[in-house]
């Protein structure tokens, strides 16, 4: 009889415990519908999209900036493989600025798979390139910023020596971005990457 008594009592306690667990789960579900955001976000409900991006993706945010002006210009250090190769159009005049001198001219993309092969858009632009690099500095890699799409500017680096690549029948210049490589070595060029970093640090003053 005692055994049956304790069995009945244990069964009642299990049922009561199960009841409380169910009530607790229902209560939690109810309060979660009232509080859709985790409590640790209290005080941060007014974060902007840029703030959220900076918190969750700081590495990419370091290569991207929205300039505060009426045109909402994006100034970036874009990766060649991720987006520049796809975004940069062919045979269309694009604005480009030499960061050190502030000289602005136009170029056209004519090819390039590991970096952009470019040519001056006009004879006037060709003269500006000659003036920027000079006869004795034709191998210099210079920091540039280029508008690859309307209001989207990217840091880049240009080599001042025109040459002919096996895929092209006319001479052109090389324009490198983050992630670009030389066609001959298939490796990233350290001098170009340093120039790109310089362009991103100092180029926004022209926009």
The answer for 134, left when phi > 0, alpha when psi is -120 to 50, beta otherwise, is: left
Q: Which of 72-81, 132-141, 191-200 has the lowest mean pLDDT?
A: 132-141
pLDDT for the residue numbered 171: 83
Q: Which of 48-52, 85-89, 183-187, 195-199 has the lowest mean pLDDT?
A: 48-52
First to last CA, the chain: 92
pLDDT for the residue numbered 40: 36
Rg (CA), the chain: 30
This model's pTM is above 0.75:
no
Q: Give the three-class secondary structure for 13.
A: helix
Reported as a single tens digit per residue, the pLDDT across 1-43 is: 444 444 555 566 666 766 666 777 676 665 555 544 443 333 3
Q: With pLDDT > 70 as the criterion, what percentage of the chain qualifies?
A: 62
Q: Give the three-class secondary structure for 48.
A: coil
Q: Could you please report the per-residue DSSP string of 133-162?
A: H-GGGTT-EEEEEEEEETTEEEEEEEES--
Reported as a single tens digit per residue, the pLDDT across 119-148 is: 999 999 999 999 999 865 556 899 999 999
Q: Give the three-class secondary structure for 65.
A: strand
pLDDT for the residue numbered 53: 47
């Amino acid at each position: 009889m005692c055994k049956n008594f304790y069995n009945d009592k244990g069964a009642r306690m299990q049922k009561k415990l199960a009841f409380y667990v169910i009530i607790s789960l229902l209560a939690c579900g109810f309060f979660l519908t009232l509080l859709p955001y985790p409590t640790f976000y209290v005080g941060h409900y007014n974060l902007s999209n840029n703030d959220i991006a900076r918190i969750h993706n700081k590495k990419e945010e370091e290569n991207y900036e929205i300039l505060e002006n009426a045109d909402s210009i994006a100034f970036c250090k874009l990766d060649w493989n991720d987006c520049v190769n796809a975004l940069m159009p062919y045979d269309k005049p694009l604005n480009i600025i030499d960061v050190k001198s502030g000289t602005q001219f136009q170029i056209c993309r004519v090819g390039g798979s590991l970096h952009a092969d470019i040519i001056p858009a006009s004879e006037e632009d060709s003269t500006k390139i000659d003036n920027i690099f000079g006869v004795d500095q034709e191998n210099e890699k210079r920091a540039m910023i280029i508008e690859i799409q309307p209001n989207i500017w990217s840091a880049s680096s240009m080599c001042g020596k025109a040459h002919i690549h096996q895929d092209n029948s006319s001479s052109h210049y090389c324009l490198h971005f983050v992630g670009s490589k030389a066609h001959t070595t298939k490796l990233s060029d350290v001098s170009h990457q340093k120039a790109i970093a310089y362009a991103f640090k100092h180029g926004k003053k022209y926009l």
